[in-house]
A = this chain, B = another copy of it.
């Protein structure tokens, strides 16, 4: 069952039992991916859409000389690429950062949902729009923010995304990323990530230990990172489409 995904969509609008069932039915196959294995690679023909049921993954791209950029991070409940099967080949790769459980959603199933269920279609569009908004915000992050702001901004974003699917525990969450991975995501060197993490710790803005991040004062971190959550559109913006309780 795509538990986290449904939770994610319900940040936009409340789904009915039928809606959820439609999503369940769309899943045609489940897979388990080992840590560091590619889920799909640049050049592959994308014939279905991947939904992360559990674990973390990321999009990345290598330049010809080996430099790597992590383009986006996927956490449980994230849909990798709605409608990507319209394209002939992948222009980037997706790799598992931890062991990943995923669901494959076939093109046919997705198109059927689009035809049959207006509310789910809207929720999927919302999901797409937010994904793109996050990508835009990463552009701002890389273009304008300092190292400290970039890290803080990412930590704020991940906090809200994970809280949206119930994966935070009070002020903290599991963060299974290495410093090299953070560096590749933020366009910085791993050495500088290390030093900047120490700055954040020294300032009391984060506690990071044993793969768990704690944000003692979210407001403070938000201010230090110039973080504005508006791009996540998580305040039930589609509540006027809510299913009534009865269905």
| A residues whose Cβ falls under 8 Å from a Cβ of B | 42, 59, 61, 63-65, 67-69, 71-72, 83-84, 86-89, 91-92, 122, 125-126, 128-129, 131-133, 135-136, 138-140, 142-145, 186-187, 226, 228, 230-231, 233, 235, 237-238
Contact = CB atoms under 8 A, between A and B. Distances in A.
Question: Which of A64, A88, A235 has most chain B Cβ within 10 Å?
Answer: A88
Contacts of A143: 69, 142, 186-187
A164 B71 CA distance: 26
B84 A139 contact: no
B59 A129 contact: no
Nearest to A142: B142
A157 B69 CA distance: 19
Nearest to A186: B143
Given A64-B228, A83-B125, 6 more contacts: A63-B145, A83-B129, A87-B129, A92-B231, A135-B135, A135-B139
A132 B90 CA distance: 13
B91 A133 contact: yes
A140 B86 contact: no
B69 A125 contact: no
A228 B62 CA distance: 11
Nearest to A131: B132
B139 A226 contact: no
A89 B70 CA distance: 28
A128 B87 CA distance: 11
B69 A126 contact: no
A24 to B, nearest CB: 23
A147 to B, nearest CB: 13
Contacts of A235: 88
